[in-house]
Structure 1
Amino acid sequence: MEFIWLRQDLRVHDHKPLQKALASGRPVMAGFIFERRFDELTEAGFPRLDEKRYRFLIESLLEMHQQLGQLGVPFVIAHGDTAQEMRNWIQHYHISKIHAYTYPGTEEAEDEAQIKAAAAEFDAETEFYQGDTLFSAAHLPFSPSRMPKSFSGFRKKFEKSGIQPEAEAAFPQEQKPLYLEDHANTGELLMKEFRQLGAKTLVNGGEQEGLRRLHNYLFETQNILRYKEARQGMLDFESSSKLSPWLANGSLSPRRVYYELKRFETEYHANESTDLLYTELLWRDFYHFVLWSQKEKMFSRLGIRQLPIQWNQDAELFEAWSEGRTGYPLIDASMRQLKACGYMSNRARQNTASFLTKNLGVDWRWGAAWFEAHLLDHDPASNYGNWQYVVGIGTDARQLKGFNVIQQGKRYDPAGEFIKFWIPELKYVPKQYLYAPFKMNQAQKNEAALELGHDYPYPVVSLDQSLEEHKLLFQQARDKRTKMLNSTKKRSVSEASS
Structure 2
Amino acid sequence: MSSKKSNSIVWFRNNLRVEDNRALSDAIEKSDKVIGYINIDPKNFKNTQYGFKKTEKFRSKFLLESITDLKQNLKSLNITLIIDFCDINKSFISFINKYDVDSIYMQREWTRDELIEEDSIPKDIKKFKYFDQFLYSPKDVKNIYENIPRGFSNFRKKCEKYLEVEPPISIPKPMNHDNLLNADYGIPTLNDLGFKDFEIHENSVFKFHGGESTGKFRIDEYFFKSKNVSRYKHTRNGLLGKDYSSKFSSWLANGSLSARYIFNKLKEYENKIEKNESTYWLFLSFFGETF
Report the TM-score, using the length of structure 1 for normalisation.
0.53
Name the SS for the 2:279 alignment partner. helix
**Do the aligned partners of 1:168 and 1:255 also contact (CA within 8 Å) in 2?**
yes
Q: Output the CA distance in 1 between the equivalents of 2:62 and 2:275.
A: 32
Shift of 1:240: 0.3
Q: Output the CA distance in 2 between the equivalents of 1:148 and 1:227.
A: 28
Using a 3 Å threshold, how does the CA distance of structure 1 residues 57 and 174 change in structure 2: closer, same or farther?
same
Displacement over 4 Å in runs of 4+: 141-145, 189-196
Q: Output the CA distance in 2 between the equivalents of 1:66 and 1:173.
A: 15
User: Which residue pairs with 1:484 in the alignment?
Assistant: none
**Do the aligned partners of 1:61 and 1:190 also contact (CA within 8 Å) in 2?**
no
Report the TM-score, using the length of structure 2 for normalisation.
0.89
1:279-322 Cα offsets, whole Å, 9 max, x none, are 01211111xxxxxxxxxxxxxxxxxxxxxxxxxxxxxxxxxxxx
Using a 3 Å threshold, how does the CA distance of structure 1 residues 30 and 137 change in structure 2: closer, same or farther?
same
Shift of 1:222: 0.3
Are 1:147 and 2:148 an aligned pair?
yes
- 1:229-308 equivalences in 2 (<5 Å): 229-286=234-291
User: Which residue pairs with 2:105 in the alignment?
Assistant: 99
Mark the structure with the bigger radius of gyration. Answer: 1
Name the SS for the 1:20 alignment partner. helix
1:46-73 Cα offsets, whole Å, 9 max, x none, are 1111111101000010111111111000
Shift of 1:243: 0.8
Q: 2:55 aligns with which of 49, 53, 56?
A: 49
Q: 1:119 aligns with which of 122, 137, 140?
A: 122
Q: Output the CA distance in 1 between the equivalents of 2:174 and 2:37.
A: 17
RMSD (Å), alpha carbons: 2.1
- 1:464-475 equivalences in 2 (<5 Å): none
Shift of 1:267: 0.6
**Do the aligned partners of 1:228 and 1:276 also contact (CA within 8 Å) in 2?**
yes
Q: 1:204 aligns with which of 195, 203, 209?
A: 209
Q: Output the CA distance in 1 between the equivalents of 2:275 and 2:213.
A: 26
Using a 3 Å threshold, how does the CA distance of structure 1 residues 43 and 149 change in structure 2: closer, same or farther?
farther
- 1:119-138 equivalences in 2 (<5 Å): 119-120=122-123, 123-138=124-139
Using a 3 Å threshold, how does the CA distance of structure 1 residues 109 and 143 change in structure 2: closer, same or farther?
farther
Shift of 1:199: 4.2
Stretch of structure 1 that moved more, 139-148 or 168-177: 139-148
Aligned AA (1:169) = I
**Do the aligned partners of 1:23 and 1:173 also contact (CA within 8 Å) in 2?**
no
Q: Output the CA distance in 2 between the equivalents of 1:263 and 1:246.
A: 20
Q: Output the CA distance in 1 between the equivalents of 2:20 and 2:158.
A: 26
1:317-365 Cα offsets, whole Å, 9 max, x none, are xxxxxxxxxxxxxxxxxxxxxxxxxxxxxxxxxxxxxxxxxxxxxxxxx
Shift of 1:191: 9.0
Using a 3 Å threshold, how does the CA distance of structure 1 residues 44 and 193 change in structure 2: closer, same or farther?
closer
**Do the aligned partners of 2:83 and 2:185 also contact (CA within 8 Å) in 1?**
no
**Do the aligned partners of 2:60 and 2:190 also contact (CA within 8 Å) in 1?**
no
Unaligned runs of 5+ in 2: 1-6, 201-205
Name the SS for the 1:238 alignment partner. coil
**Do the aligned partners of 2:8 and 2:31 also contact (CA within 8 Å) in 1?**
no
Q: Output the CA distance in 2 between the equivalents of 1:152 and 1:30.
A: 39
Shift of 1:196: 5.6
Q: Output the CA distance in 2 between the equivalents of 1:199 and 1:103.
A: 33
- Percent of pairs identical after alignment? 28
Name the SS for the 2:237 alignment partner. coil
Using a 3 Å threshold, how does the CA distance of structure 1 residues 184 and 166 change in structure 2: closer, same or farther?
same
**Do the aligned partners of 1:68 and 1:74 also contact (CA within 8 Å) in 2?**
yes
Aligned AA (2:16) = L
Q: Output the CA distance in 1 between the equivalents of 2:192 and 2:20.
A: 28
Shift of 1:111: 2.3
Name the SS for the 1:28 alignment partner. strand
Name the SS for the 1:126 alignment partner. strand
Aligned AA (1:171) = I
Q: Output the CA distance in 2 between the equivalents of 1:271 and 1:184.
A: 48
Stretch of structure 1 that moved more, 81-90 or 219-228: 81-90
Name the SS for the 2:216 alignment partner. helix
- 1:40-439 equivalences in 2 (<5 Å): 40-112=46-118, 114-115=119-120, 118-120=121-123, 123-140=124-141, 146-161=147-162, 163-177=163-177, 178-181=179-182, 183-186=183-186, 189=188, 197-200=197-200, 202-286=207-291
**Do the aligned partners of 1:87 and 1:119 also contact (CA within 8 Å) in 2?**
yes
**Do the aligned partners of 2:136 and 2:165 also contact (CA within 8 Å) in 1?**
yes
**Do the aligned partners of 2:8 and 2:35 also contact (CA within 8 Å) in 1?**
yes
Using a 3 Å threshold, how does the CA distance of structure 1 residues 157 and 235 change in structure 2: closer, same or farther?
same
Unaligned runs of 5+ in 1: 287-498
Q: Output the CA distance in 2 between the equivalents of 1:261 and 1:39.
A: 36
Name the SS for the 1:239 alignment partner. coil
Higher relative contact order (CA 8 A, sep 6+): 2
Aligned AA (1:229) = H
Name the SS for the 1:9 alignment partner. coil
